[in-house]
């Protein structure tokens, strides 16, 4: 970069530079010459310790290097500008690297989310199927007149530990359970929450739409997917 060209780093050359500069007219700088290697080296050393020169030091440096104080001042100005430009490039590289990392992480999370939505869909189908089975069995029981208790009474028995109902449950699976119980059981079974306690500690949506059982009834995987895919900030990524 700092080749020096025909001008070596000798003091004689530096002096010649100075002479050439002095002969320049203000408008024409045809004889503009690069500073010598030695001059540049000295300027760089000073710049490393202080990017701005005190007036006294500027005069001293100019004397030592055989330059005009104005030249030293301009060199420092340009040097600061170059440094700033390089710094911007460095900052940009860092930002770009961070961006790429985040983009990659986002892609992973997006896939994970899609997988969860699919699981949720299957869960809802399972739920729907069990609900149909429940209606079928209830109808059967009523027809056979085996038990005149209402569903609510059965549920009450269940919670109070009535063995006859428990037996019935074991025979009919989710048949006589309320929807909420069904969902709790399915949820626990499907996600194996008691086996993977970490899942319960994961970050949940602020609105509790997934965690509150009272909201499960209105939970629909399609809705969820639509909600997540409509006019959200992450639309930008898809």
User: What is the binding site for DNA (CB under 7 A)?
Assistant: 1-3, 5-7, 21, 24, 26-35, 40, 52-53, 55, 70-71, 73-82, 84
Give the containing element (helix H, strand E) for 85: helix 69-144
Query: Looking at beta carbons only, is 79 or 131 nearer to DNA?
Result: 79
Neighbours of 182 (CB within 10 A): 21
Token pair of 197, please? 């306690």
Q: By C-beta, is 26 or 197 nearer to DNA?
A: 26
Is the Cβ–Cβ distance between 33 and 65 less than 8 Å? no
CB of 98 to DNA, least distance (A): 23
Least distance from DNA to the Cβ atom of residue 100, Å? 24
Closer CB to DNA, 8 or 135, in the complex: 8
Distance CA 61, CA 72 (A): 8
Least distance to DNA, CB of residue 202, Å? 45
**Least distance to DNA, CB of residue 87, Å:** 10
Question: What SS3 state is found at 227?
Answer: helix
d(CA 9, CA 206): 69
**In the 8-state DSSP scheme, what is residue 35?**
P
Tally Cβ neighbours within 10 Å of residue 160.
Answer: 8
State the DSSP string of 161-191: T-HHHHHHHHHHTTTTS-HHHHHHHHHHHHH
Q: How far is the CB of 68 from DNA (least distance, A)?
A: 7
User: Which residue, 24 or 199, is less far from DNA as judged by CB?
Assistant: 24
Smallest distance, Å, CB 110 to DNA?
A: 37
Smaller CB distance to DNA: residue 52 or 96? Answer: 52
Q: Smaller CB distance to DNA: residue 18 or 174?
A: 18
Nearest CB to DNA, comparing residues 56 and 236: 56
Nearest-approach distance from CB 25 to DNA, in angstroms: 8
DSSP assignment, residue 63? H
| Rounded-to-integer distance, Cα 162 and Cα 166, Å | 6
- To the nearest 10 degrees (0 to 180), the angle between helices 69-144 and 37-49 is 50
């Amino acid at each position: 970069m700092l080749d020096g060209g025909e001008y070596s780093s000798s003091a004689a050359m530096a002096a010649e530079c100075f002479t050439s500069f002095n002969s320049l007219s203000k408008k024409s700088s045809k004889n503009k010459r690069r500073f010598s290697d030695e001059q540049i080296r000295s300027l760089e050393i000073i710049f490393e310790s202080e990017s701005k020169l005190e007036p006294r030091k500027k005069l001293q440096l100019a004397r030592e290097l055989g330059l005009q104080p104005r030249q030293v001042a301009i060199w420092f100005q340009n040097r600061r500008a170059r440094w700033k430009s390089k710094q911007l490039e460095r900052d940009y590289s860092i930002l770009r690297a961070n961006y790429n990392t985040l983009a990659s992480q986002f892609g992973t999370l997006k896939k994970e989310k899609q997988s969860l939505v699919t699981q949720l869909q299957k869960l809802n189908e399972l739920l729907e199927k069990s609900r149909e089975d429940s209606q079928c069995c209830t109808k059967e029981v009523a027809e056979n007149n085996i038990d005149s208790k209402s569903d609510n009474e059965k549920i009450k028995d269940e919670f109070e530990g009535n063995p006859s109902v428990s037996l019935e449950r074991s025979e009919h699976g989710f048949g006589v359970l309320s929807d909420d119980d069904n969902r709790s059981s399915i949820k626990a079974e499907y996600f194996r929450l008691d086996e993977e306690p970490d899942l319960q500690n994961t970050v949940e949506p602020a609105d509790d739409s997934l965690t509150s059982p009272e909201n499960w009834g209105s939970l629909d995987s399609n809705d969820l997917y639509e909600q997540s895919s409509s006019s959200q900030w992450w639309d930008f990524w898809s």
